[in-house]
Amino acid sequence: MSTLGTEARPLRVAIVGSGPSGFYAAQPLQKQDGLHVTIDMFDRLPAPFGLVRGGVAPDHPKIRSVTKVYDKIATAPGFTFWGNVKVGEDVSIETLRRHYDAIILAYGAETDRKLGIPGEDLPGSHTATSFVGWYNGHPDYRDLEFDLSQEAVAVIGLGNVAMDVARILAKTPDELRDTDIAQHALDALAESKVKTIYIIGRRGAAQSAFTTAEIKEMGHLTDCEPVVLQEEIELSPASVLEEEQDNNVRKNMEVLRELAGRTLSDAKSRRMHFKFLRSPVELKGGERLESMVLEKNKLEGGEPFKQKARGTGETEELPVGLVFRSIGYRGLAMPGVPFDEGSGRVPNDKGRVLENGAPVPGLYTAGWIKRGPSGIIGTNKPDSLETVQMLLEDLPNLTPCPEPEPVAMLAELAGKGVRIVKFEDWQKIDAVEIAKGEASGKPRERFTRIAEMLQVLED
Ligand code: NAP
């Protein structure tokens, strides 16, 4: 029986990743009665909060305000933020294991699923997530360019990321100006020539992955008219059952029917066409993307909630100069950590990391890298709690790490010239961003380069 978690020997936990799942793993540890714990949270960026900062759309500030909860967690005793430290590169998992009794991998799903069709990599074809990172000023995507001189754009996928991308493309500069959208994106979008936005779903309206609030917003855009044709939203018998049995489907269908019942006017300069039951089979063009071939689908599988899209062989070609592929995120492997290539996740049982089917002592996972890229921010709360419960169950049998004082790790990081950004450092960066935003009536103006953030700490 170990004494880990006592006053004499607090439990040392490293959390890798500072997005919602990381913070929701820290919270129940802090709240655990009688447990003495120190939590060190690592992030490769100098700024915390993962997708809350880099993913949530700038015109959804309410969703972003969840960071107030994370601020409290980060400033509680025993918590240290280790920003600007890349686990797996600046410091290895093996090193972390020497200094921590337990590690919770909560590093999210950083890349995208591929369509796997010809022309996918043509200039003009982008992942939705790169566009999201770009308009949110994420340093990885700062220098990307999107050819917004194109008039016709397609967004592939029916999830909330697809909705975010389509909505940002559809909004006027005035609708975005007082948000914290990155200035370079606002400037580029102000010059946008986009007139037609197609949203392409491989399954039907009833199988849309977006949530009702997101589709509703499309009906309230200043200069963009949503176009939903009645024939696009007619439901198969199994889809009718899905609508009857699922509240979200029912609410989404209500909104889609309301949109379909509208009389289209020419008063707005942009249109957003919803096209269901179509899969892209080829992106065509010479030097760059010129069109997209779609195959019409029908639903197969019979049973409600199990219907799959099956191509009918009938195709159509849409002239589009830009495509945003929004078909889901995908997790990446981390050196020294078991990984399942098939699912893009860290294999686990309720958060206990598994290697060849057996739990790896002291190694846990939470969030998208645990369960896959699904759910809203709040979904991470019970998910991370489940992981922490496994850790606490294992606590009596955990082997204490050999070097609780991370002297060797600090020396390793110093040797590599890594400037560790503590939470107090981040608060300085945060304050400067907010002050910069005030000047232009925005909640904040983000630093879009890591060097700029670090410079604040030198000044
Ligand atoms: P998502 O919700 O999983 O949606 C992915 C979409 O891509 C689905 O419509 C899916 O269709 C489609 N798709 C997958 N493979 C495809 C293929 N090969 N060809 C054509 N379409 C394909 O993923 P997401 O939009 O990336 O969002 C990730 C998570 O973040 C979601 O849980 C989402 O709700 C959440 N999120 C929430 C908000 C918010 O709350 N405002 C904002 C952004 C993201 P099928 O259904 O047929 O598989």
**pLDDT tens profile 378-424:** 999 999 999 999 999 999 999 999 999 999 899 999 999 999 999 99
Predicted pLDDT at 422 = 98
Q: Whose CA is nearest to atom 7 of ligand 1?
A: 327
CATH 3.40.190.290 assigned to domain 114-325? The reply is no
- For atom 25 of ligand 1, the residue with the nearest CA is 159
pLDDT at 302: 79
Percent of the chain topping pLDDT 70: 100
* Residue 209 near ligand 1, beta carbon < 6 Å: yes
The Cα 35–Cα 31 span in angstroms is 8
In order of 427, 436, 437, 439, 455, the CA distances from 433 in angstroms are 10, 5, 6, 10, 13
% of the chain with per-residue pLDDT over 90: 97
pLDDT above 80: residue 2: no
pLDDT at 439: 87
- Would you put residue 104 in left (φ > 0), alpha (ψ -120 to 50) or beta? beta
Mutational test site, ligand 1, from 53, 117, 130, 160, max ligand atoms within 8 Å of CB = 160
pLDDT for res 391: 98
What average pLDDT does the chain have?
96
pLDDT at residue number 1: 56
Q: 327 in ligand 1 pocket by Cβ < 6 Å?
A: yes
User: Which atom of ligand 1 lies closest to the CA of 211?
Assistant: 34
164 within ligand 1 shell (Cβ under 6 A):
yes
Strands 152-156 and 322-325: parallel
Q: Does 380 sit in the ligand 1 pocket, CB within 6 Å?
A: no
Q: Map tokens 């000044």 to a residue.
A: 459
Atom number of ligand 1 nearest to Cα 129: 26
> Which atom from ligand 1 is nearest to the alpha carbon of 158?
9
Q: Which atom of ligand 1 approaches the CA of 128 most closely? A: 26
User: For residue range 113-122, what is the model confidence (pLDDT) as tens digits?
Assistant: 999 999 999 9
Instruction: Among 56, 136, 202, say which to mutate for ligand 1: greatest number of ligand atoms within 8 Å of CB.
Output: 202
Residue 373 Cβ < 6 Å to ligand 1: yes
DSSP class per residue in 217-270: HGGG-SSEEEE--GGGG---HHHHHHHHH-HHHHHHHHHHHHHHTSPP-SSSSE
Nearest CA to ligand 1 atom 20: 202
Provide the pLDDT confidence category of residue 237 given band limits of 50, 70 and 90.
Answer: very high
Query: For atom 42 of ligand 1, which residue has the closest CA?
Result: 160
Q: What is the structure's pLDDT at 191?
A: 98
Ligand 1 site, residue 297, Cβ cutoff 6 A: no
pLDDT recorded at residue 13 = 98
Residue 130 tokens read as 């790169």
Q: What is the pLDDT of residue 31?
A: 97
State yes or no: pLDDT of 79 exceeds 60. Answer: yes
Q: What is the model's pLDDT at position 265?
A: 86
Closest among 251, 320, 303, 307 to 276, alpha carbons compared: 307
* pLDDT value at 20 more than 90: yes
- CATH 3.40.50.720 maps onto the chain at 11-110+330-421
Distance (Å) from CA 375 to ligand 1 centroid? 9
Q: Looking at residue 186, what is its pLDDT? A: 97
Q: How far apart are the CA of 231 and the centre of ligand 1, in A? A: 23
Q: Where in the chain is the domain with CATH 3.50.50.60?
A: 114-325
Q: Cα(210) to centroid of ligand 1, in Å? A: 7
Q: Tell me, what's the pLDDT at 3?
A: 86
pLDDT band at 143 (very low <50, low <70, confident <90, very high): very high
Centre of ligand 1 from the C-alpha of residue 269, in Å: 28
CATH architecture of 11-110+330-421: 3-Layer(aba) Sandwich (3.40)
Tens of pLDDT, residue by residue over 340-378, are 999 999 999 999 999 999 999 999 999 999 999 999 999
Task: Kindly give the distance from the C-alpha atom of residue 319 to the centroid of ligand 1, in angstroms, as a whole number.
Answer: 24
Spatial CB neighbours of 398, under 8 Å, sequence gap ≥ 6: 2, 4, 11, 101, 102, 361, 362
Question: Which residues partner with 224 through β-bridges?
Answer: 270
Q: Name which residue leads in pLDDT, 3 or 100.
A: 100
Summarize the confidence of residues 161-182 as an average pLDDT.
Answer: 97
Check pocket membership of 136 for ligand 1, CB cut-off 6 A.
Answer: no
Name the residue of 161, 203, 249 whose CB sits within 8 Å of the most ligand 1 atoms, as the mutation to test its pocket: 161
Q: Is the CB of 19 under 6 A from ligand 1?
A: no
Query: Structure pTM?
Result: 0.96
Provide the strand spans (E) within 17-172. Answer: 37-42, 79-82, 102-105, 111-112, 125-127, 152-156
CA of 268 to the centre of ligand 1 (A): 28
Note the pLDDT of residue 100.
98
